[in-house]
Structure 1
């Protein structure tokens, strides 16, 4: 089965809401071995929706609609589909009773236009709405299956899982499944990654390999299709191993994991504590880390040392060093990391100093950054960076690099850093 997902709603085109339904449905269809080749969004306009339906009929044998099943005049989905397919609309008494009961339970008066939600396309199998009023429906015509679902995710998702998924599973038959795995990398550009994997990308068949650039990250999505889940997993593992041999040094996690999350989990696993000294980043590192429940088990706290006076008085950075090397220096970053670790009695200290802009500081260019990582009984490591972007971008990327370098050091040190 090849599917197209059509989302109806002008609010989607205006950017007022995100089309999360398409993402959810694509993942669910992949589990059923159904290919999704197109996502389409169209406004509340009958003529344009008719055009979209006619296009979809030429390229898909499963068309899923979300939205446009409500009681108002701009809810045109089933009316338009019925017109395109020359099918009648009929009142479903069971659906009407459920809608009447819905209003009764809430002590509200049902207006006449709500009866519209109980109207279905003739010949449809009705999908009950356990979390709202408008029922869904599914039917097949000329070997194309049409599935209509409500727009609100709180209604659509449970309806699909409870009623539509089983129906489609029976329709598809067979046992082919699609499994995807996302590998996440940092500190390597998309072009460099593709160069390293060029021959693998050229030869890909099953699994497929799809690189994708993100916000400072690069991801690779591996997708495999097979009748056996065990074989599918084995194929994914083999392909991942080939990729890791070439670019594994830049790898940090899977699927939806973030650098912060992976670093936090590794700190917890190793039962290690960390403290931060932040000048350039103004507390962003601590803010990111403390967004995770239980972070107090790893993060002791931080010192915001934005001025030289605070660096000198709280972190005991020598005044002479601040005058000669400057606050934006490898030497200052090293002492900041070492002294915050000692002051807050942690296993690790991390420091951030640099120039966020918009102008130079201490004669250093905008984007000059130093990140120090100090360990108990280990030499302190200082990383230097030259970052591009505006002030916020530089600060955010600095924190990401902080978590990335922290991960690298944690992995280097085994269980006893």
Structure 2
């Protein structure tokens, strides 16, 4: 079963609103065993909607249209579909009665154009709109299933959950829901991860392997079709074990959480605390940590020590490390160690994490852009620091340095 979602609305093409309906529907269809192969966005134009429907008919068994069911002249979806399929439009009386009552209760006259919202393709299955006025439609012609849904998510979502899912499950045999697990990685890039798993990716059938990445994070989604969670686990377990045997040292979670979420929760569960000292990241590391809801029990605070004066006066970094003949300087392994240890003591935390480096655009202390040092202090243990060479522009270096600092902390937490 191949599905295509057609989102109708010029406002989508102009970027005035985001096409969140396609994301929601793709996820919901996967849950009942239907794969979405194509997303299409088309404007409020009769010719282009016809063309989109024709293309979808040539490559999909299920076509879901969202949007274009309102009362205005540019709400064309039902009219165009009726013309393409040769099915006349008729009034769905329960929807008409609901609309009449709605306007009467508001004391507002119902204009003739509102009647469009109560129209349906004759012979189709009406889909009740719990939160709006436009009735949806579901029908099958020549082996292709068509579903028409309203565009506003508050109307579309309940219609899909309470009407569409049941309609599809009653008409499509042997639907096996998709089940997935997520493996999250740190300390390894997408290209290297793919290289180590390339034979598994090239030879995939069921289960499937889908690597994806965003800045500072890499994940793999393993997916299979199964009758239930136990069957899915049995199918996924051998592939997961093989992946762990190859790159298990980089896996920090088997759920879709960020590295900062994982660290904050782990520290919280173990009753331990963290403080950070930042220079080149300018507070971005603290921002990542404080974005985790309920993280105040683990992250106690930090210092943005952007200048040498603050490093000395607030953190207590020795002056001889920062300036003077023979001093390693602010951007150095020694200063990273001192910053981590000082902030740990200053805040009374169990861990201290520091970042100092050159985010650009120019060199600093004669040191190149992208040179970063991360320090990790653990109470009762020797403080350590690592040197990193990070590429990118200034915002990219700041983010990658922050994520790299979290990775170094995770490495210490593991040990």
Please give the alpha-carbon distance, in whole angstroms, between the structure 2 residues aligned to 1:107 and 1:189. 61
1:271 aligns with 2:271: yes
How far residue 254 of structure 1 moved from its aligned partner, in angstroms, is 4.1
Deviates more, 1:174-183 or 1:119-128: 174-183
Please give the alpha-carbon distance, in whole angstroms, between the structure 2 residues aligned to 1:254 and 1:8. 37
How far residue 175 of structure 1 moved from its aligned partner, in angstroms, is 4.9
Equivalent in 366, 375, 380 of residue 378 of structure 2: 375
Please give the alpha-carbon distance, in whole angstroms, between the structure 1 residues aligned to 2:297 and 2:123. 59
Deviates more, 1:358-367 or 1:26-35: 26-35
How far residue 45 of structure 1 moved from its aligned partner, in angstroms, is 1.1
Q: Encode CA deviations 1:283-303: one digit per residue, 9 max, x unaligned.
A: 222222222332221111111
Gaps of 5+ in 1: 413-417
The alignment partner of 1:174 has SS state of coil
How far residue 104 of structure 1 moved from its aligned partner, in angstroms, is 4.1
Please give the alpha-carbon distance, in whole angstroms, between the structure 2 residues aligned to 1:218 and 1:230. 27
Deviates more, 1:375-384 or 1:99-108: 99-108
Taking structure 1 as the reference length, what is the TM-score of the superposition? 0.95
Gaps of 5+ in 2: none
Q: Encode CA deviations 1:315-362: one digit per residue, 9 max, x unaligned.
A: 111111112110111100101100111111110111111111110001
Matches within 5 A, 1:164-179: 164-179=164-179
Q: Please say if residues 169 and 175 of structure 2, whose CA atoms lie closer than 8 Å, have aligned partners that are also in contact.
A: no
What is aligned with 2:146? 146
What is aligned with 2:198? 198
What is aligned with 2:120? 120
Q: Please say if residues 277 and 352 of structure 1, whose CA atoms lie closer than 8 Å, have aligned partners that are also in contact.
A: yes
Q: Please say if residues 177 and 229 of structure 1, whose CA atoms lie closer than 8 Å, have aligned partners that are also in contact.
A: no
What is aligned with 1:43? 43
Q: Please say if residues 350 and 374 of structure 1, whose CA atoms lie closer than 8 Å, have aligned partners that are also in contact.
A: yes
Please give the alpha-carbon distance, in whole angstroms, between the structure 2 residues aligned to 1:228 and 1:158. 24
Q: 1:328 to 1:107 in 2, by over 3 A?
A: farther
How far residue 210 of structure 1 moved from its aligned partner, in angstroms, is 2.1
What is aligned with 2:9? 9
What is aligned with 1:342? 345
Please give the alpha-carbon distance, in whole angstroms, between the structure 1 residues aligned to 2:314 and 2:390. 28
For the aligned residue pairs, the C-alpha RMSD in angstroms reads 1.6
How far residue 219 of structure 1 moved from its aligned partner, in angstroms, is 2.2
Please give the alpha-carbon distance, in whole angstroms, between the structure 2 residues aligned to 1:273 and 1:63. 52
The alignment partner of 1:173 has SS state of coil
Please give the alpha-carbon distance, in whole angstroms, between the structure 1 residues aligned to 2:372 and 2:246. 28
Please give the alpha-carbon distance, in whole angstroms, between the structure 1 residues aligned to 2:218 and 2:287. 24
What is aligned with 1:244? 244
Please give the alpha-carbon distance, in whole angstroms, between the structure 2 residues aligned to 1:94 and 1:6. 27
The alignment partner of 1:326 has SS state of coil
Q: Encode CA deviations 1:266-290: one digit per residue, 9 max, x unaligned.
A: 1111111111111111222222222
The alignment partner of 2:306 has SS state of coil
Q: Please say if residues 260 and 292 of structure 2, whose CA atoms lie closer than 8 Å, have aligned partners that are also in contact.
A: no
Matches within 5 A, 1:91-240: 91-240=91-240
What is aligned with 1:259? 259
Q: How many pairs were matched up? A: 412
Please give the alpha-carbon distance, in whole angstroms, between the structure 2 residues aligned to 1:104 and 1:379. 76
Runs of 4+ in 1 over 6 A off after TM superposition: none
Please give the alpha-carbon distance, in whole angstroms, between the structure 2 residues aligned to 1:392 and 1:299. 24
Please give the alpha-carbon distance, in whole angstroms, between the structure 1 residues aligned to 2:50 and 2:304. 59
Please give the alpha-carbon distance, in whole angstroms, between the structure 1 residues aligned to 2:235 and 2:411. 28
How far residue 106 of structure 1 moved from its aligned partner, in angstroms, is 4.5
Equivalent in 325, 329, 348 of residue 326 of structure 1: 329
1:356 aligns with 2:356: no
1:67 aligns with 2:67: yes
Q: 1:102 to 1:383 in 2, by over 3 A?
A: farther
Please give the alpha-carbon distance, in whole angstroms, between the structure 1 residues aligned to 2:213 and 2:275. 31
Please give the alpha-carbon distance, in whole angstroms, between the structure 2 residues aligned to 1:107 and 1:286. 54
Deviates more, 1:93-102 or 1:332-341: 93-102
1:407 aligns with 2:400: no
Please give the alpha-carbon distance, in whole angstroms, between the structure 1 residues aligned to 2:182 and 2:100. 46
Q: Please say if residues 358 and 364 of structure 2, whose CA atoms lie closer than 8 Å, have aligned partners that are also in contact.
A: yes
Taking structure 2 as the reference length, what is the TM-score of the superposition? 0.95
